[in-house]
Each structure stands twice: as C-alpha cells, then as structure tokens.
Structure 1
Amino acid sequence: MKDPEENPTVIGYAEDSVNVDEPGQDVIRSEKILIAEAQVGFADEKELGPRAALITYSNAVMWSLVFAACVIMEGYDTALLGSFYAYPAFQIRFGRFVGVTSSTPSGYQLTAAWQAGMGQAGGVGSFFGAILSGYMVPKYGQRIVVIASLIVLIIGIFFPFFAPNLPVLTIGEVICGFPWGILTTCATSYASEVLPTSLRVYLTSFTNMCFIIGQLIAAGILKGLSNHTSAWAYRIPFAIQWVWPCFLIPLVYLAPESPWYLVRKNRLEDAEQSLRRLQNRKAKINPRNTLATIIHTDNFEKMNNAGTRYVDCFKGPELRRTEIACMVLTGQILCGIDFAYNSSYFYENIGVGTSTTYSLNLGGTGLALCGCFVNWFALMPYIGRRTIYIWGMGGMTVALILIGILNVWTSHKRVSIAQAVLTLVWTLMFQLSAGQLGWALPAEMGSTRLRQKTICIARNANGLVGIVAGILQQYFMNPQAWNFKGYVGFVWGATCFLMFIWAFFRLPETWKRTYEELDILFAKEVSARKFASTEVNLFEDQENNDRSDSRKVQD
C-alpha cells in the first residue's frame, strides 16, 4: 500500500479537499480558499502573546506537560547513577577497597573504567532509541510510540533493581536508555507541533525542566538515604522509577494526536478534530484556519523538495538546519555539563564532606529549577534566543576558568567551597541559557516534515559527544586515574569558549518566527546575524504560483 505522505498534495481540508493533480477552476478556487484561511490563521498566531496563547491553547499546554513528564525519569536516573559514584552504600556494594582517605571516606571506590561504562550505558541505549524514533513516529504517531516506550521502560527497570553485579547493572542502563531516547525526542517534537509560536519555546524547553525535576527528586531521595549502608539504600531509588509509567500510560493514551502528523497522513478530518481538542472551545480562533496554516506550510515544504528521510536532513538548506540543531544541543555537553552535573563526585574529590556534598547537590538542583523560571519570565519573553544562548556560553566560560584557577589553592577549605559555589553559579547560567534553549532550538530548526528526524539527529549528536565527554570526565576526576580535580575547569572552559564563537557566527534568531517564515529564511540562505531583521512575505511565492496555474488553466 502506498504511503499517504507520497500521495499528491491535498489543497483545502475536510469535505472541501481537492487533489492538485485534477486540473480546473475547482483547484484554483480551493487554493484561494486555503490561502485566505491560512492568512487569517497566520495573523491570529502572530497576534497571540504568551498570556492570550496560554488561554487559547490551555488544553495543548496540559497535554504537552503530560508528554514532557515522561522525561522526568531520565533526569532522575542520570542524577541517580552519577551521584551513586560518591554514595557510601553503592561504593561498598560494587566498588573495591582502596583505603580511607579524605577523597574516599568510605574506603571503597569504583574504577574509572566502570564509572565510564555505567555512566554512558544509558546514552548508548538512547542513541539507538532516538534513531528508531525517527522512523516510528512519522509512521505511527507520537501516542503509540510513547506508550510502547513506557512499557519497555517498566521492563528495563527490573535489571538495575535486582542487579547482582556491575555488568548486569550496565546492561540494565542500556535497556532503560533505549526508551529514554524515544521519550525525550517525542516530548520536544509534540510540544513544538501542538503549540503556537509564542508558547513554543516554553514547552519545548520544559523538557529541560523535567530533567531538573527528576534530578531534584533524585537529590532529595539520595540525601535522605545517604547515611544508610544496606542494599536498599540504592535499590529504593531505582524502584521509584516504576511510579511514573503507571499514571503516564493512561494519560498519553487519552491525548490528542499531533495535527501535523495527521495532515502529513492526509487525515484532515482527524487533524481538525485534534485541533479542536487542543484549543479552548471558548477561544476566538477558528481551528479550520489553524489547519489551513499547517496545510499551507506542508505544501510549501513539498514544493521546495523537503523530503521525509534521514538522508534529506543533509541536503540543501536542511544541512544547515541540521548543523544548527546538532550544535546547540551538543553545546550542552561542550559547555561542561558532565563536570557540573556530576558535582557530587567533584565535591568529594576536593575534600568537601559527604553531608555537605549532598546538601550542595540538592541546593544546586533547586537553583537550576529557579533558573528555569527566571528564564521563562524574565528573559525569553523579552530577549531573543540567539542573544540568550551566546551570552550564556560566555558567562559559563568565565565560571569554568575561575574554577581551574582556584585549584592552585585547594588545600584551603574555603577555596574548595568557593569552587563548589562557582559550580552552582555555572548551573544557574546554564539553566538561563543553553540548558533550556538546547532543547527548544532543535525543535524549531528542522522543516516540519523533517522535525522528528532533525531532533533525533541532534539528540544523537548530543549523545555521542556526551559519551566521549562522560568517559573523559570520569578519568579527569577519578583519584585512581588522572585526578585533575578543579583543573578540569580549564578543559571545559576551552570547549565552552569555542561554542561561544560558533554561536556568534552560526546561530540564527528564531524568536517570533512561524515555521513557514523559517522555511523561507533558510531557503533564501539568510545569514545568521540577519535573521531577526529580514522581512518575510509568506504568500508572495504562493501568489506567483497561483498566477502561473491560472494561465495554465486558461491555455
């Protein structure tokens, strides 16, 4: 059976749909109706500020939060495993005796090789999960794929919970990582497809906040169990992961499907019904006009030869869009996240006590959550994405270099505390910039027909760089390996500065731009620094096509 996406473009919608391969006045009339309704739809979307959009799309916001909540589990487990390396009960159960010192108060320590292997196991699983997501979501839609992933995750959690040794625990992390790769990409793409321009960045960046919520929960649980030495001190945190799928599966089942997916499948009546569920019934916006904007954008991308395969992400204007998506998400790694988000282990290595370590860890996670809200309400409504991202990279570079400089005097406890405080400052700046925009920008960069695949490629670029960085970080910090301590700040400070330079020359401004406006800007190869100032006429090309079609019909 032929894929509906390969069928000729459909103009109009619902009962008014007409196939463009059928020549005549009906086609032209249907095109004019579509353009008129799309013009109204685009104007409505442009006029909606964040508050008005929140009222109009309150249902869409709720369903986006449901999909984003699936990401909490990955943030939880990532923080869990990274913190376990400095966790007495975990060290005693899985580590080897190396003697009691200020940097190993329990006397036990995991080798750098096992730390690297376990720490990146989830990333390996996520890599393959994200690739599969790019194939499955365009075929089956978001809902079915997310539900299946949650079921796989339930099964995967059994492995780390009952793990008798490090190999089984590592295998369990790989299995759990597989659905995580799917859930994070689906959460971002779903939010980007069901929300208007003014709300898009908030809910796509909420993926990052869900990571923080998971980390905050993990930090609180680890703080409460840090003085226990039995196996349950690390098994209970693993078991808590079974809670999320139990209430997320029924909620995802009830959620409306993405109207963009339904349009690409030529299920236009279903797409209109989905929009009616996503928009508030009392809102003044007509769902048919919103549907017309989706059809118009999809038609524009088809006319510009936007494909739907992974290879199409590396052709023409899509290559530049893929590069930007990969770099902004990879920037989260290159700016030092493996250093700052494994801060518990860093604190222990510079001589901070166990109780103080987990208090700082909990406080840092809470600070990260505050940073997200500050970004939402004080930065993103008033400042462009490009500006926030660039200056965030600059600020983090300074913090990392200062950590490296202070390492000269780490024999003084006050200096160690100063380094710890600088990691908290880094955390705040990260969440004000790359932490949230690293997830939001890839959802805006790819064309709508390649959005899922572009996000998946960006996620995997992030994952591959993250695997390398995570392995290196364990060797940087482990007392039995390179033992860089605070000098590692120089390493990540250098890579962070390179990201600052790249962003200045290559990152375009997507603030207040609709998806079709972005399509036109990329098609015209507008430079990154001119994206914000370039004016776009959405219907100029379409009007020219209409005149051409009219002459063909008359002839």
Structure 2
Amino acid sequence: MNDTEKYGGSPEVMSDVPKGTVGHDAQAVHLDDLDLKAHLTDYKADAIEAENAEHNMGVLEAVRAYPMASFWAFVFSFTIIMESYDVFLTGNFVALPAFANEYGEVNPATGAKVIVTKWQSALQCCGPLGALIGVTIAGPITSRIGYRYTFIGALMLLNVFIFVFYYAHTMGVIVASQILEGIPWGIFIANAPAYCSEIVPIKLRAPATQMLQMFWAIGSIIVGAVTYRYNGRLDSSAYKIPIALQWMFPTPLAILIFCAPESPWWLVRKGRLEEAAHSVARLGRKSRLLNPKESVAMMRRVIDLETSQKSPSPIELFKGVDLYRTLIVCGVYAAQNLAGNLIANQAVYFFEQAGVSTNTAFALGLITSALQMIFVMLSWVLTSYFGRRAIYLWGTAWLIVLLIATGIAGSVGKSNAASLAQASLGLIVAVMFTAGPAPVSYSIIAETSAIRLRPLTTGIGRGAYYIVNIPCIFLSSYMLNPTGGDLGGKCGYVWAGTALATWVVAYFFLPEYKGRSYREIDILFKRHVPAPKWSKTIINVEDDE
C-alpha cells in the first residue's frame, strides 16, 4: 500500500490534481507549501498542530479566523427557512378563515366551516412524508456528488414543486404538492447541520449548527407576519399570496451556494487533498491561526482513525460503535416531537382552541416566533458555556414542568382566565423549546456521527424524526380539533409524559461534546466511555485509539 492509499487518497485522484497551485485567489495554497510527500511523513505532527490551534481559540477569535466559514454556514442554514415557512404556513392555513371557507366542511356544533380532522392531519403530515423521502436519498447523493450540488439540485426542484401548490384547487392536490415539496426539505435538513459542522472550528460548531433553529424561527416569523396581514381577507389571496412568497428563496440561494466552497472534510474523504486545502483557505483569513496544510492533516488523521477505505454504506450505520452513534442521532431527532414541538408548530391553532380570538391567536403566533428567534441566539451563549448535554437535560426538565402546568390550566374549566393561562403557557412552552432542546439537538446531531458516515447518519436521523412526527401530528391534531378530542391545554399532560421519557433516556445515553475535536469524539466512542463520564475523561493529543 502506498502513502496516498494509506491516508485516504487514490492514485487516480491524485494524478488528476493540477500542478502549480491549489487556488487562484490571494489565499491560494501553492504545491510548494503543500508538498504532499513531505506532508505524509509529517502527517501526525501537522494534525496535532491544527487540533491544538482550534482548542486554543476563543469563540470571537474563531470568528475572526474563519469569517467566511461563518458566512457560508449562514447561507446553508438559510435553506431551513423554506421548510419552516411551509410547515407553519400549512399549520396556519387550518386557522385561516378564507382557507376554511374554500376547503372546509360545516361543523354542526357551530355552523362554521372548519378543516376536518382527516384533512388537517393530512396537511400537517404530508410535508414530513415527502421529507422522509428526501432524507433517505440525501445521504447517498451527498456522499457521491458533495453538498453543494445536492443543495443546488434540491433548490431547483423546489421551484418546480411550488407551482403545484400554488395552482392546486382541491385538498388532494394540495396534499400531493406538500409531499413533493417535502423531498427538497428533507435534503436541506439532513445536510445543513452536517455541512455547517464541517466548515467551522471546534468553538463555532455549536453556534453554526444551532443557527438552523434560528432560521426555523425566522421562517415562522415571516409566515406569522404574512398570515396576520391577510387573515382578515375572505378571498383566495389570503392563502395564494403566502404560497407565492415561497419563490423568494430558492433561486438566490442556489446562486450563492454555487459560489460556496465544498466541505473540506468531504473533499478529504474523496482524496482531493489540494482542493480541500483551497477550501480551508477560502473559509478563513490568512493568519497564524490558519494553516491549510495542517488543517487537511487533521482531517486526514480523523478519517484514517475510522479505518475503512471502502465507500460509505448504510449497513455500517448499524454495526459496532456506529450503531450507538446512529441511535443517539435518531433518538435526539425523534425526541423533538415529544417535548413540546407540536405545540410550537401548531401555536396559532393551539391558541384558538385555548379560547382566544382568531386575530389574537395570529398575533400571539407572531410574538411566539419573534421570541423563539431571540431565545435561539441566547442558546448559543448557554451551549458555549454549559455544554450540549447540560442544556438538553435542563431544558427538557423545564419543559416537563411547563407542560404539566399547561395541562392543569386546561383542566380547571372554561373561563377567560383559564383561556389566557393556557395561551400564555403554550407560548412559553413554544419559546422554551427553542432555548433548550431544539437548537442544541442540531449540535448533537452534527457532532455525533462519524465523519465518513455523516451524510448517511444525519439523513437516517432526520428520517427517524419524520417517522415519529407523522403519528404525533395525527395525535396532536386529534387532541386539539373540536371535532376530535377537543382537549385544548389538557394535551400538555400527554406531551409532559413523552418529554419525561426522552429526559430519562438522554440522561443515561447522551454524551457531552463541548470542546471535543472529532478525533476525541471518535476515540471516546471506541473506548465505550459511559455518556455521563465523557466530560471528565481526558484524551491525550497523541492518542489515536
């Protein structure tokens, strides 16, 4: 075995690398600086230097060293707005009078038209069903062609599928359009946390991945503002205009992403070392803190630790220590549905069923979304100081208390005070969810998976989210709908029970990744260190196993 094969490259790939320079801009990395043969002999020393440099950076220092990495993480995270926008849009349509008048049926009890339970549930779960398809295909496609081209293809497909939604005239076609739109959403949500975690240094991994939840909140703010503006209209423009506004996003984002650097980790996995060095140079600014040669060496060291030279296979996700990592990712994703997320996603409808007026419900929904964005940014600070595990456990514990309180408020009888209490607690639950379990979940998901299996792991993890999400949507819709369970705030008891179950599992099995390099994470998993002991376990910088 020659040196190139040993460290993750291939003779064919390496022979295709152009001589001269890796890049063409002011931060170009010359072959003289990246002498591959010399680099192979000094491989571990360079890797240690790069890892130590990342460990020694502060958060602000990391931002200054990697300004473009922060920017590109922002751009790729922005794609989540589109899933958020449509999820909250269809949720708000259920409470929109014009939409109910067009597609609803008369409720015998009130004489008003409502979207019946079966269509309400279908409208909520068709997007996740399509996204389940998207996350299934995201991993294999990304492993083959990279993050950039996978995102661009998904954005172009989304442009087409929005036409189906806009020109739909029956609930059946609307449901079909949401299944189609869900396919690109699945690709975005599977790949965005993985890409963001791969282009930033250790200290920025939490903010970069938690940005996804911020854009989820921004999407709901846009929807809240638009539907609040048009909910008083009784013609089709009340829902047609919000649908058409989806076209604002895909094409500009596709152009930006075309200009983005590919993940250097993906390039190293493919053996395209000079391109990886150029990508690292594009992500940071030229300084003593950024040495592309050493950064590539660090990546190669981690990938070499994962030992397998064959192409990533989904079967590997269910073998050995990778099975544990897969279960953590799937569990954290699935748990998002069990700790108040459904109240957050159906906030406006929840407020209506709690007894407040339609206009007030939409206003409260908009306030909730704005507060969610603020609290997501607060979670960046909290996670940086206290770590992933601590924020996840404490955040879930607070949600359990709040959900029980919501159930109590819904159990004291119908009155103006009880309605306000339920609406207020529902708002707090939705906001607290985005200060704790929701944003930190994306950091955990991105950091748990092995580098070489990351696109596959994040894809199957999001698939687990949708598998749990779909029946939970039916349950949530049934509990809230006046033609179903009509539980109102009493549904808090149900979600408190499921949230408690997720807390217990997380306490025993969720590790702490704060301040850990991907090499250290790999070693801790291979040593089978119990999750509660991760934060106290020391890994030597020389260790490779």
- Note whether the superposition's TM-score is higher than 0.5: yes
Stretch of structure 1 that moved more, 482-491 or 306-315? 306-315
Counterparts of 1:247-266 in structure 2, within 5 Å, are 247-266=252-271
**Cα-to-partner distance string for 1:56-94 (whole Å, 9 max, x where unaligned):** 110111111111111111101111100111110110010
Aligned to 2:19: none
Query: Deviation at 1:476?
Result: 1.0
Residues 1:113 and 2:118 aligned together: yes
Partner of 1:299: 304
Aligned pair 1:138/2:143, yes or no?
yes
Report the alpha carbon displacement of residue 201 of structure 1 after superposing the two structures with TM.
1.0
Q: Return the offset for 1:29.
A: 7.2
In the superposition, the TM-score normalised over structure 2's length comes to 0.92
CA deviations 1:423-480 (Å, max 9, x no partner) are 1211222111111012121110011001111111110101110001001111111111
Residue aligning to 1:21 = none
Residue 44 of structure 1 aligns with which residue? 53
The 1:51/1:234 distance shift into structure 2, 3 A limit, reads same
- 1:31 is displaced (CA, Å) by 4.7
| Residue 430 of structure 2: aligned partner | 427
Find the aligned partners of 1:280 and 1:96 in 2 and give their Cα distance: 60
2:152 aligned residue: 147
Contact persistence 2:53–2:289 (CA under 8 A): no
Query: Which of 80, 83, 88 does residue 74 from structure 1 map onto?
Result: 83
Distance, in Å, in 2 between the alignment partners of 1:524 and 1:8 is: 27
TM-score, length-normalised on structure 1?
Answer: 0.91
Q: Retained in 1: the 8 A contact 2:352–2:358?
A: yes
C-alpha distance in structure 1 between counterparts of 2:161 and 2:40, whole Å:
50
Matches for 1:391-430 after TM superposition, within 5 Å = 391-430=394-433
Q: Is the 8 A contact 1:333 1:469 kept in 2?
A: yes
Distance change >3 Å, CA 74–CA 12, structure 1 → 2: closer
For the 8 Å contact 1:11–1:34, the answer to whether it is kept is no
Does structure 2 retain, via aligned residues, the 8 Å contact 1:325–1:442? yes
Q: Post-superposition shift, 1:311?
A: 1.1
Counterpart CA distance in 2 for 1:395 and 1:541 is 39
**Deviation by residue 1:4-60 (Cα, 9 ceiling, x = unmatched):** xxx93337999xx89xxxxxxx99976540011111111101111110000111011
Note the C-alpha offset of 1:409.
2.4
Secondary structure of the corresponding residue to residue 257 of structure 1 = coil
Residue 349 of structure 1: CA displacement? 1.6
Q: Which amino acid aligns with 1:217?
A: I
CA distance in 2, matches of 1:185, 1:331: 16
Structure 1: distance between partners of 2:283 and 2:350:
45
The alignment status of 1:218 with 2:223, answered yes or no, reads yes
AA aligned opposite 2:500: F
Runs of 5+ consecutive residues of structure 2 not aligned to the other structure: 16-34
Matched residue type, 1:186: N
Cα distance in 2 for partners of 1:11, 1:244 equals: 37
* CA apart distance, 1:527: 0.1
Which of 334, 338, 341 does residue 345 from structure 2 map onto? 341
Q: Is the contact between residue 354 and residue 423 of structure 2 (CA under 8 Å) also seen in structure 1?
A: no
Query: Which of 159, 169, 183 is matched with 2:164 structurally?
Result: 159
C-alpha distance in 1 between matches for 2:233 and 2:413: 29
Q: Aligned match of 1:373 in 374, 377, 381?
A: 377
Q: SS of 2:247's equivalent?
A: helix
Confirm or deny that 1:529 pairs with 2:532: yes
The 8 Å contact of residues 85 and 110 in structure 1, kept in 2 or not, is answered as: yes
Offset of residue 98 of structure 1 = 1.8
2:486 is aligned to 483
Q: Deviations over 1:202-232 (max 9, x none)?
A: 1111111111100010001011111001001
Describe the superposition over 1:400-438 as per-residue Cα deviations: whole angstroms up to 9, x where unpaired.
111111112241111111111111211222111111012
* 4+ runs deviating over 6 angstroms: 11-14, 26-29
How does 1:88-237 map onto structure 2 within 5 Å?
88-98=97-107, 101=110, 107-237=112-242
- Name the residue aligned to 2:27: none
Q: What is residue 445 of structure 2 aligned with on the other side?
A: 442
Q: Hey, what's the Cα distance between the residues in 1 that align with 2:304 and 2:141?
A: 23
Where does residue 470 of structure 1 map in the other structure? 473
Give the Cα–Cα distance (whole angstroms) in 1 for the partners of residues 86 and 146 of structure 2: 26
Kindly provide the CA deviation profile for residues 175-208 of structure 1, in whole angstroms up to 9, marking residues without a partner as x.
0000000011221111011011100111111111
CA spacing shift, 1:46–1:253, aligned 2, 3 Å: same
Structure 2 residue identity aligned to 1:8? E
2:206/2:384 contact within 8 Å kept: no
TM-superposed CA distance for 1:485, in Å, is: 1.6
Shift of residue 318, structure 1, vs aligned partner: 0.6
Contact 2:223-2:242 at 8 Å conserved across structures? yes
Aligned to 2:313: 309
2:504 aligned to which of 491, 501, 512: 501
Match of 1:549 in 2: none
- Identical-pair percentage: 33
Displacement of 1:533: 0.5
Q: In the alignment, what sits opposite 2:29?
A: none
Q: Tell me: CA distance 1:355–1:28, structure 2 relative to 1, closer, same or farther (3 Å).
A: closer
Assess, with a 3 A threshold, how the Cα gap between structure 1 residues 11 and 408 changes in structure 2: closer, same or farther: closer
Choose from 510, 515, 519 the match for 2:518.
515
Q: Is the 8 A contact 2:8 2:269 kept in 1?
A: no
Q: CA deviation at 1:339?
A: 2.4
Displacement of 1:282 in angstroms is 4.0
SS at match of 1:408: coil
CA deviation profile, 1:506-533 (whole Å, cap 9, x unmatched): 1110000000100000000000010001
In the alignment, which residue of structure 1 is the partner of 2:64?
A: 55
Residue 548 of structure 1 corresponds to which residue in structure 2?
none
Q: Distance between the aligned counterparts of 2:221 and 2:523, measured in 1?
A: 41
8 A Cα contact 2:8 2:303, kept in partner: no
8 A contact 1:97–1:108 mirrored in 2:
yes
| CA distance in structure 2 between the partners assigned to 1:49 and 1:13 by the alignment | 36
Residue 354 of structure 1 corresponds to 358
Q: Summarize the Cα distance change of 1:124–1:226 in structure 2 as closer, same or farther, 3 Å threshold.
A: same
Equivalent in the alignment of 1:3: none
Q: How far does residue 350 in structure 1 lie from its aligned partner after superposition?
A: 2.4
Deviations 1:90-123 (A, max 9, x none): 100100122574xx8xx11111111111111110
Q: 1:364-402: CA deviations, max 9, x gaps?
A: 11111111121123x122101101000111100111111
Structure 1 distance, partners of 2:374, 2:230, is 25
User: Within the alignment, does 1:540 sit opposite 2:543 as a pair?
Assistant: yes
Mapped to 1, the partners of 2:149 and 2:239 lie a distance apart of: 32
Output the CA distance in 2 between the equivalents of 1:505 and 1:121: 34
Distance 2:407 2:138 in 1: 40
Partner residue in 2 for 1:330: 334
Q: Is the contact made by 1:71 and 1:184 (CA closer than 8 Å) also made in structure 2?
A: yes
- Secondary structure at 2:312's aligned position in 1? coil
